[in-house]
Every structure is written in structure tokens, then in C-alpha cells.
Chains A and B, each alone.
Chain A
């Protein structure tokens, strides 16, 4: 239509001006877009560097945010493997936001079930010294999915156990069957007792035993009444007037008198003993004299013996060895 008829079509008013306007608009859009992107990517912001050291940088991409209380305060600029095998995440923090990060701040790397990993900063005390430029910090890891395998394994074992418990030949089913038998018995003539003892016959025996026990208790009641009467009598005999207790008291009084006499007798015996001691002492002295006397007698006897020997020697005709004591 228009273009190929341009040679014959009527001239369009200000066509070159309109074309220049459109070209200017394109140039303005391109320039504005480039400036917008540069501004949005933080090219015009003063930043400082923060290096986060993580065991694993999986899920973190260049351009990811470092958030503080849910607000982005930094952007991952570069990720590389350090010489010691750990991931080195370089984060650029705008200077206007750097006051949220302090030397005591803690950094975490969390992975959710949806979306990429999240870098988060926590600052306990905002009065601590500010984080220096180029600071290196370790990243703590918190991973929701990491616990999943463990959780699944645990769940599986739990489910296995439940399956075993609910199997037709399981202990639980057997117990329930037994319970049903017991409860059926409980609905019998003897109720819970029949259920507990395994049958009505046993329950009947127990009830008979109980009846007999009741009879026994009744007879025991009579016995205890007799015993009570006996005790009353005994009480009267023991504690009544002229009873055992009174006589016992008199006997104790007499015993006291006897004891007084005995004490006097003992004093006398003490005196006798003192005398006897003296006699003993004299006897000891006499005994010592006896020893001396005996020694003298022995000496005299030996002298007499030696004299007889002498006489015998001097009386040779007489061989009579009989000694005539004077």
C-alpha cells in the first residue's frame, strides 16, 4: 500500500520530524533502560566486601541476596572454591546497609523445599563494632531437606512396626482376640470374675470359697466375743481389788524390806571380811616365820644326821643303823 505508492502518494506532514522523534524515543528508551538496569544492579552504590566461607555453596547463585530481618542488605558477587576446598562467597554490601552487620553477626545458609538457598544475617547486638571491609565469616548451615532422608528412614521403620503390629498374626491382634474372649466371658453368669478366672466353674469355686469364708468369719465373731469376755475376767483378776497387781505391789514392798535387811547383812559381812583380811595378814606373817623355823629345823636335822653318821663311824661294832632321836 503506502510504501510502494510513495512516489505518487501525497506528502506526509512533518514525516522526517516524526521519524526523528521516534528515533529519539528509541534512543531515550535504550539509554533509560541501560541506566535503570545499572542502577537496579547497584552499580552506582558504594559497597563493601564481605566474604562468607561455606562447606557447600549449592543453591547459591551470583546475584542472590543476603537478607537481614527479611530485607536484602547484600548481593552475592562471586562464588569460588578456596584453596582449602571450601566455598568462598563474596557478598557486596551497600554502605548504607552495612550498619546492620556487626562483628558479632551470624550468617546462615538455608535451603527450603522451594526456591534457591537463602543467605541470612543475624545481629544480636547492634552496638557491637561494625563489620570491617573484606571481613571473612563462616556460614552456618540450616537445611530443611537435609533432615528428610533421616525422617524418611525413621518413618519407614515406624511404618514397618505398625505394619507388623497390624498384621493378621501379630501379637497385637492375638492380644485383641484374647481380650475379646475375656470380654465374652465377662458377659457370662459370673461376670468379670468368670472372665478373670477363665471359666464359670472356677468362678463358682471362688464364690463357694467366699461363702465359706463368710461362715468362718461369722464363727470367728463368736470366738472373738468369748475372747472378749475372757479378757474382761482376766482384767478383773489382774487389776481388780485383791487382784494379782495388788498382791504384786505388796510383794514388792516386802521385797524392799528384805533388800534393806540384806543391805545390813552385807555391811556386817563387809566387817567380817575386813577382819578376815587382818587374819589373813597375820597368817601371812606367821607363814614367813614358819619358813625360817623350817629352815632351822632342817639345819638341826642335818646336824643330827651328820652326828649320827659320826657316831656310826665311831661305833664300829654296832651296825645298827637305827637312829634314836632324843
Chain B
């Protein structure tokens, strides 16, 4: 049995899969109509379905945090630093992590489960035997869907958080715009901006790649499906923590 899964496992296991998936996602030749349809469905399931709900939840959380930061900074006489603190904490750190966790727990868990079932049932090998590349048609579209979902949710909610912060600080007056631009401009230094983009991309890739590799790493036994999902989720949360911690260290240490 193990030797039957060897061809795919050999190609997909471990971190190499992330690079292979990324390269495949970037090559236009990988998108035949079938692959494009699967990718579109993945994007739809991972991003479109949860976009309104997640945006509302994230806006509510952001609003609470903004209120806390503003009122405590006012109480301590440090209101001049409230905007910078809010933008740094919310936009640069919390919202991307929150989006990645949300997509990971929802789509990542689903991907983990379906890939481990396909793996146990031998669907992937069957597809390969039938001349259909499972990497291109089943796995890479899921990675693309998760990455797009994480980036979309993160960036959109960062924008919403910025708008909420402006509203909370200055109301609907346009006269705070110059100060708001100046302070956010200081926060979004080149290192921070590029760091945010890379971090979000890594979150998006990790959210799909770690569940897939965990699913393919288990023996083809029905009872191992739960173990694969468990391992996948634990590894995903750890990986997200490591990525976040590394970027915090790069930014502030």
C-alpha cells in the first residue's frame, strides 16, 4: 500500500509542496478550464461565502478594540499615540492573523478532511492513473482559494478598520485627514508594508498547504482521517504563530 501512494507523496510531502503549488499557481498553463473551474469554486467557498459575515464580525471586533485603545490613551493623556497604536495593532497584526485563523479553521479544516478522504479512498492515485494531474486539478486550486480568501479578508478588513479608526477619532469631519494620512504614512513604512504583504501571502499559503501535507502524510486507514485533521490544525496554528512571531521580531526587535 505505501508504495502505491509513493508517486504523489513523493511529490507533495513536506515544505517542497508549498513551492510546487506556488509555482504551479503562477504558471498560466496550469489553468485549463477544469482547473479554473475548481479554483473558482474554491475561491467562492473560501472567500465569497464568508465575506459579509466575517467583515461584520471583524468590524465589530475592530470597533471594540479601537474604543478601548482610544479611551485608555485619552485617560492616560496619550491620545497623540492612539492612532498609531491602533493602526499598528489592528491593521498590521491582528486582522491578518484573525483572517488567517478564520480561513484556516473553516476552509483549512474542510480541505484537510476532503484531501485525507480522497487520499484514503485512493482518488488521487486514480486520477493520476486516468491522466488527470491531481496536483493541478485538486490541490493547487485549494491553495489558490485559501490564499485569495486570506488576502481578501485581511486587506478588506484592514481598510474597514482604517475607516472605523478615522471615524472614531475625527467623526465624519474631513479635517482630520491630513493628520490621519501623516500618521498612517509613518506606520506604513516600506518594511512594514512589504512585511504585511509577505505575511498575508504566507498565511494564505500555509492555511491550505499545511492541511494538505498533513492529509497526505497519514497511512491510508479510515481511522487515520481524524488524526490527519487534528495534526493538520495543530500544525497550522503553530505555523501561523511562528510566521506572526517572526514578523513581529523583524519589525520590532
* Residues in chain A within 8 A of chain B (CB atoms): 1-4, 6, 12, 15-16, 18-20, 22-23, 25-26, 29-30, 32-34, 36-37, 39-42, 63, 65, 72, 114-115
Find out whether the CB atom of A29 lies under 8 angstroms from the CB atom of B40: no
Residues of A within 8 A of B80 (CB): 115
Q: How far is the CB of A28 from chain B (nearest CB, A)?
A: 9
For A30, the closest partner residue in chain B by CB is B155
Question: Which stretch from B5-13, B16-24, B177-185, B235-243 is at the chain A interface?
Answer: B177-185
Find out whether the CB atom of A63 lies under 8 angstroms from the CB atom of B189: yes
Q: How far is the CB of B226 from chain A (nearest CB, A)?
A: 16
Residues of B within 8 A of A23 (CB): 43, 148
Q: How far is the CB of B97 from chain A (nearest CB, A)?
A: 18
From B37, B43, B110, give the contact of A22 (CB < 8 A).
B43
- Cβ of B71 under 8 Å from chain A: no
Find out whether the CB atom of B151 lies under 8 angstroms from the CB atom of A26: yes
Q: How far is the CB of A1 from chain B (nearest CB, A)?
A: 6
Interchain CA distance A3-B156 in the complex, whole Å: 24
- Cβ of B234 under 8 Å from chain A: no
Find out whether the CB atom of B118 lies under 8 angstroms from the CB atom of A4: yes
- Cβ of B54 under 8 Å from chain A: no
Question: Which stretch from B44-52, B58-66, B167-175, B244-252 is at the chain A interface?
Answer: B44-52
Residues of B within 8 A of A20 (CB): 40
Residues of A within 8 A of B36 (CB): 16
Quick one: given A3-B110, A29-B159, A40-B181, are A18 and B40 in contact (CB under 8 Å)?
yes
For A64, the closest partner residue in chain B by CB is B186
Find out whether the CB atom of B189 lies under 8 angstroms from the CB atom of A114: no
Q: How far is the CB of B148 from chain A (nearest CB, A)?
A: 6
Interchain CA distance A25-B37 in the complex, whole Å: 19
Q: How far is the CB of B95 from chain A (nearest CB, A)?
A: 13
- Cβ of B117 under 8 Å from chain A: yes
From B48, B78, B117, B148, give the contact of A4 (CB < 8 A).
B117
Interchain CA distance A59-B73 in the complex, whole Å: 21
- Cβ of B105 under 8 Å from chain A: no
Interchain CA distance A23-B197 in the complex, whole Å: 16
- Cβ of B111 under 8 Å from chain A: yes
Find out whether the CB atom of B45 lies under 8 angstroms from the CB atom of A3: yes
